Amino acid sequence: MDGNGCDLQLSLADGRELVLCKNCVDLPKPQGRPECKPPLRWSSLRKSQKKGGLHNFIPLQLILWAECQGRTVSITFAEYTSPTELRPTTRTYTPALSSSSEIDTWVAALIRRAYGTAQRRKRALVLINPHAGPGKAWKKWNKVLPLFEAARMEIEVMVTSQPGEAIAIARNLHIDRFDTVIACSGDGLPHEIFNGFAQRPDARRALGKVAVSQIPCGSGNAMACNLYGSHHASLAALGIIKGVDTAMDLASYTQGDRRGVSFLSQALGIIAEADLGTEHMRWMGAARFHVGVLTRILSKKAYPCDIDVKVELEDKADIQLAFHAAAAIPAVKDPIDTWAVDAETQGLPLLKYGTVQDPLPSDGWRRIKYDNMGNFYCGKMAFIAPHVAFFPASHPNDGLLDLVTFSSDLPILKVFELFGKRSVSRPEIKMDVLA
């Protein structure tokens, strides 16, 4: 047997074989049971499908667990019941008369390849906001829980009952007990979790040690769209199970003497008003944002302001080049010991440029008067909602923010086009990358 990517075979008592390949495993189907077809987007599965409809190949990404008990090998994988729904399925096989060490070696190789560098059996604290979005968080959690159980994750569940509760939970959390905190909610609960960690005396260690993840249950679910490429609960759950901890920037904001952190975006104008002004429409799900944006666009309201900025990249061609260069570098998790020698006791670092109350720094900063501001939108993640990549050039840990602005007198049809796939490429849209 070879554990370096070559095919590994395990003979079965009925004459068939389990074959572990580089990217998939060939699992013979149970006799007489119809196979659930995978979604068409799995091109690798379509190619592996044999003539006659016999489909045995399961991508390693879908393998949740495997174990050997006596003379029996059990393999559990996530099976598609629809293009957006997964359920755990277990197949059990009896190997031929092989040595137990040979069987154990095959099972260990399967687990090793299935998880790669991802941590196995993560320990998770789940925070459920039953009032998030349309109010279906409990239903979604109960659907994905079997996937976490199949992956042998340790789960502890808490339910939040009021705004700000997750801040206190994260602030007082015993961080050595958990590998991730899962927000079963919209984007508000992850925001509270990050800010709870940020308020700790050991904020740097907490933020570096415990990953924040999301089962999307809200209206926008931007965090899930960016982390897992989907706003569907099952696919997000698989992303959490197989996910590798990755460093991500947080932006600081201040209001008076209060300081907070933001993982997603800060806004003034149409986007902010569309969100705040449709709180009573949460039952509509993501559609409430479209209603809010439409009504604000038609009003053509201006938000006069002064903007203090330090621009790193202004030309859109340069922004595009910088994005492709950064995307070619694999993302890694920052080791905690690179932040500070005494990270156990250090809170957030001091603000590099001060606050709005301080004098404007002279090293590249400038003040822009914007009397007809229609929308100011500054973000750290590409997607702000499913299929809406407002900041397509953003990078998770480059130390920069992406800023998109446009005027209140922009023609209505052009504003609608901003929410298309190539919105920020339009000449009337101002896009900057800020330090």
The residues carrying an active-site annotation are: 187
Q: Which helix (H) or strand (E) holds 424?
A: none
Tokens of 333: 């998790």
199: DSSP letter: T
Spatial distance between the Cα atoms of 72 and 94, rounded to a whole number of angstroms: 5
Spatial distance between the Cα atoms of 87 and 81, rounded to a whole number of angstroms: 7
Spatial distance between the Cα atoms of 332 and 315, rounded to a whole number of angstroms: 28
Collapsing DSSP to helix, strand or coil, 406 comes out as strand
Spatial distance between the Cα atoms of 403 and 266, rounded to a whole number of angstroms: 10
Tokens of 129: 């906001």
Q: What is the largest CA-CA distance in the chain?
A: 80
Collapsing DSSP to helix, strand or coil, 72 comes out as strand
Among 134, 131, 239, CA closest to 182 = 239
Spatial distance between the Cα atoms of 370 and 405, rounded to a whole number of angstroms: 10
Angle between helices 137-150 and 233-242 (to 10 degrees): 40
Collapsing DSSP to helix, strand or coil, 49 comes out as coil
